[in-house]
Structure 1
Amino acid sequence: MRLALFQPDIAGNVGAIMRLAACWQTPLDIILPCGFALSDKQLKRAAMDYGAAADVSRHADFAAFEAERLSKAERLGGGARLIALTSGGDTMLHDVTFAPGDILLLGQESAGLPGFVQDRAEVRVRIPMATGFRSLNLGMAAGIALGEALRQTKGFPA
């Protein structure tokens, strides 16, 4: 299981997701460019001392991320299914059957995932919310989705 962030805008959210990734021993991919410098002190402050414990990979752009994902899948003989988390998703989170090799992809806080990225996903997932609300905080969405995926795959750390 992996988390991936597509061109995130807010350092504090990335820091919180880095903490989540460290605590649940889940690798994190950051697809550049970001709306802030990755060395930004807000990011370091938000990740606190967990940042060094997180397994973070940076990718120059979505094409570089995709090339690495597909290369890994080929080497491993499958896996690395891209699961896009989007408010326009056609599958509810609780209806997805997750696999250990899945990559949970979240978009920009300001714009979500662009169409060309959503088109590459095998599944587009929506987290259920009450009527009248359009989105959750990026870190909150990552935690909800990763928690469900790890619960299903029995992937929580011991």
Structure 2
Amino acid sequence: MPKIALYEPDIPQNTAAIIRTCACLGAKLEIIEPCGFLLSDKRFKRVAMDYFKEGEIIFYQNSEHFFEEKKNERVLLMTTKASIPYTDFQFQKDDTLLFGRESSGVPEFVHKKVTHRLRIPMVENKRSLNLATSVAIILSENLRQIRIQ
């Protein structure tokens, strides 16, 4: 089962849309806290609908706890700062796909802790895709690759 990890997400509607994507595509969701919103936020609940089951999401108190739990696993950071396009990368079944905070990505120390950094190729002079869209793109490629292995 693929694993999607969100680093301190701060937009409730994006996190809710990612919950739905993970539920529909069979991925496990992991959230590194603190979140920039409450899970009781009505914007979050409206988008997540009945897909959100708190027991199915793993919450980490902070990034130190997350990386301690992942010390024997590959953690792949999706970032606009990477040089390797995700289309040129070979995913493995136990990879954790880490996505940064919508407003600020991840701090430098997270960049140093991950196994690989990947990017989604985009046209020049565009900042980034929506987080939920990025998760859907990367998760789809991950699933395509691990199903043919």
TM-score interval (norm. to shorter) = over 0.9
1:116-135 to 2 correspondences below 5 Å: 116-135=109-128
Residue aligning to 2:23: 22
1:87 to 44, 56, 80: 80
**1:69 counterpart = 2:62:** no
1:138 to 110, 131, 136: 131
* Residues 145 and 54 of structure 1: CA distance in aligned 2, closer, same or farther (over 3 Å): farther
CA–CA distance in 2 between the matches of 1:39 and 1:151? 34
CA–CA distance in 1 between the matches of 2:126 and 2:55? 31
Aligned length: 147
What is the identity, as a one-letter code, of the residue corresponding to 2:51? Y
What is the identity, as a one-letter code, of the residue corresponding to 1:2? K
Q: Which residues of structure 1 form unaligned runs of 5+?
A: 74-79
* Residues 54 and 130 of structure 1: CA distance in aligned 2, closer, same or farther (over 3 Å): farther
* Residues 82 and 98 of structure 1: CA distance in aligned 2, closer, same or farther (over 3 Å): same
2:107 to 114, 126, 141: 114
TM-score by length of 2: 0.93
What is the identity, as a one-letter code, of the residue corresponding to 1:38? L
Give the RMSD, CA atoms, in angstroms: 1.5
What is the identity, as a one-letter code, of the residue corresponding to 1:108? R
**1:101 counterpart = 2:102:** no
Q: Which residues of structure 2 form unaligned runs of 5+?
A: none
CA–CA distance in 2 between the matches of 1:12 and 1:106? 15
CA–CA distance in 1 between the matches of 2:100 and 2:55? 20
CA–CA distance in 1 between the matches of 2:145 and 2:56? 22
* Residues 65 and 152 of structure 1: CA distance in aligned 2, closer, same or farther (over 3 Å): same
Q: Is the 8 A contact 1:91 1:125 kept in 2?
A: yes
Q: Is the 8 A contact 1:21 1:55 kept in 2?
A: no
